[in-house]
Amino acid sequence: MIDDRTIAILHDLVFRKERDICGIREKYSLSNRQISYAIQKINNLVLHKNETGIILSDKEVLIDKEGERFLQEYLINLEKGNDLFYDKQSRKLFILLKLVCSCDYLSLDDFVYMVHASKSTVLSDVKELRQEFLKDGFQIEYSREKGYYISGNESVIRSMLMQKVIHCLYEDNGETLLQKYIQQEIEQPFEETRKTIVAASHRFSIHFVENKLKEFTYCFHLLTERFIRCSVEDEKLIDIIDCDSKEYKFSEYLAQETAIQSQKNITYIYAWMLGLSMGNIEENTRDQTIIKQLGNRLIHRFEALSGIKFKNHSAIAQQLYEHLRPAYYRLLYKLPIVNPLKKRIKEEYGEMYSLVQEALQPLYPIFQHEVPDDEIAYLTVHFAASTYEEKEQKVYRKRSLILCPSGVGTSIILKRELEELFPDMEFILQDYKKEIVTENVQIVFSTAVSSRLLSINKPFIILSPIMNAKEKYQLISKVYDLLNDEELVDPTIEKVLVTIKKYVTSDQYRMIKKEICQKEKYLSKIVEEEGMRYPLLSEITSESLISLNIEAADWEEAVRKAAQPLIDKEKVTPNYVDDMIKTAKESGPYIVITKHVALPHARPEAGAKEIAISIATLKTPISFGNKENDPVLYIFGLSALDNQTHITAMAELAELLDQQEFYDTLKKAIHPREIMNYIKKFEKECHEI
């Protein structure tokens, strides 16, 4: 049998083409001996079916194309076989699924038979699960009459199960594991449930957010017996049910098709669907007005905090509405949300994440709890994608396809990053659910493994939807190796390569070309650009841009005086400040971003000449028309050149505005130097952390 870790290594080798031994050792915390053992295990398993094995050199793993193809097919077809080994995590998942999804009498022998392990091993697994569940408010119990069963709040039990299943779906081989459980333990065929849900979604025009259809299908199939036999008690999921809504009709139909009779469970499925069904700003639903208002408020607040002015507000609002409506219900009814890219998003878009988190602050009272990190990460992707400007039309020499089921926002970000890495390639985004069209396509980039990839007969690479600098560097090497095309070589080194080619063998030439492309050009291009941080707040303001205790008759005069240093130091033109006033009038009170603080700005084309921030304190507080945050005492005037460069400084400013000590410094400062010193001290402390 082949274990989960070996499968994961094999997955990386043949789909992600991660062949560097150092990288494998680091990723899986293995010794060279352990790596050698894992490769030997794979070879022993598959060599009787294929003559070509995997070879270990000093630095990398070598697999020929025939062997790679065979191993790709082996992994995709693995779910049809019985080679999956149940490690501890798999056993615990199966026991949990059995406890939640089955209403039969369960004995220890049932678990032992299910996971093919000893009684002592299963007892240890059950003990660990008991400890984990205690903190979540439910527990595993046993009695002679009832056997093993799970007790606690029904909604919490369901939510926990959903989160476990969704997390599993995003792990390597996770879906295979769930399919194993379903085939072994659930009488109703999964395919019948899937067809019922798909048919119902077509019938009632339900469009699931991103890849939530798969999540819903697995969770519903696993929970169906619980929906039939158990009901949600003591909780009101919905105060006002819209029986005419498509989500409610979908829920009623699904209940009827699966013999679910409890009205409370129909209501539960209805609430669940509201958190999964994509919003449509054109649909005249009961909640349309409130979701629009929340969306507009969020966009305006994000603009005010980030210093970004979107050109096409209606397009941004429409895209946001699609994601905000289901997010609203997930937050309102505390429905489970899992964002598999959360960690990556927080790492690669940390400043944007902080600004979105801050923009959401005024919405917390509506839900009476904070917005989960997973939800903030989804909205971060939306806003990050929205900040990208339109690219000018150009002629491309290569064409490639991007298949990304992670969502529209993530797809846009991935496309943008690939365009930066391969400027001579045209990238076509394609719906993952539709038939793959590869006419005139040289290579396919996909964020998920699919049997369809093997049938397209085109080179393909599996990659992460959000990449760090190292992954981008490795990707370039993989693409060059796959295409082996002179056209991708930078013109400045092309002549050198032509000369070299005359005097070396083809294998030597390939290695030389690879080294040059990687180390001389692209390593510096990517790693240096990635390493090039955006400026900090202290680097775009100065003592000469700080004005203390200015006097003004009204908010307009206050803004003009606060921004005057930007004109004096030639950071902006006078027209830019005029546009600041115009924008403030259009946006209304949104430029007052928090108590006593205004942040006026305009679009770059209005006259921004250099990125900068002016800081002004007012001698007398002035009302800007914002009931929640007036009067204004401090004005930060932003000059932005684009939608990206100032993001780090704005994220830092948002953090400073949460520090009472910063306000004390602003209020008591006699000289601009005191404010600058505080900002630099804050940055130094953050850097040390």
Q: Which residues are catalytic?
A: 601
Residue where the block lists tokens 């098709």: 257
Contact between residue 602 and residue 309 where contact means Cβ atoms under 8 Å apart: yes
Contact between residue 613 and residue 649 where contact means Cβ atoms under 8 Å apart: yes
CB-based burial of residue 495 (10 Å sphere; 0-12 exposed, 13-18 middle, 19+ buried)? exposed
Classify residue 487 by its DSSP letter. Answer: G
Q: Phi and psi (nearest 5°) for 594?
A: -160, 180
C-alpha closest to that of 228 among 238, 220, 236: 220
Contact between residue 679 and residue 541 where contact means Cβ atoms under 8 Å apart: yes
Amino acid letter for position 209 = V
Distance (Å, whole) CA 34 – CA 593: 55
Residue where the block lists tokens 């429409």: 318
Q: Give 149's strand partners.
A: 141
Contact between residue 205 and residue 247 where contact means Cβ atoms under 8 Å apart: no
C-alpha closest to that of 440 among 397, 383, 410: 397
From the DSSP assignment, how many helices (H) and strands (E) are in the chain? 32, 13
User: In the numeric block, which tokens belong to residue 380?
Assistant: 């971060």
Distance set, CA 111 to CA 91, 93, 199, 548 (Å):
9, 11, 35, 72
* SS3 call for 570: coil
Beta strand pairing call for 138-143 and 147-152: antiparallel
Angle at 415 between CA 411 and CA 419, to 5 degrees: 175
User: In the numeric block, which tokens belong to residue 496?
Assistant: 């050198």
Distance (Å, whole) CA 590 – CA 655: 18
Distance set, CA 662 to CA 407, 672, 682 (Å):
39, 13, 9
* Residue 173 backbone class (left: φ over 0; alpha: ψ -120 to 50; beta: rest): left
Contact between residue 416 and residue 390 where contact means Cβ atoms under 8 Å apart: no
E strand or H helix at 403 = strand 398-403
User: In the numeric block, which tokens belong to residue 491?
Assistant: 């013109």
Distance (Å, whole) CA 379 – CA 306: 14
User: In the numeric block, which tokens belong to residue 539?
Assistant: 């680097």
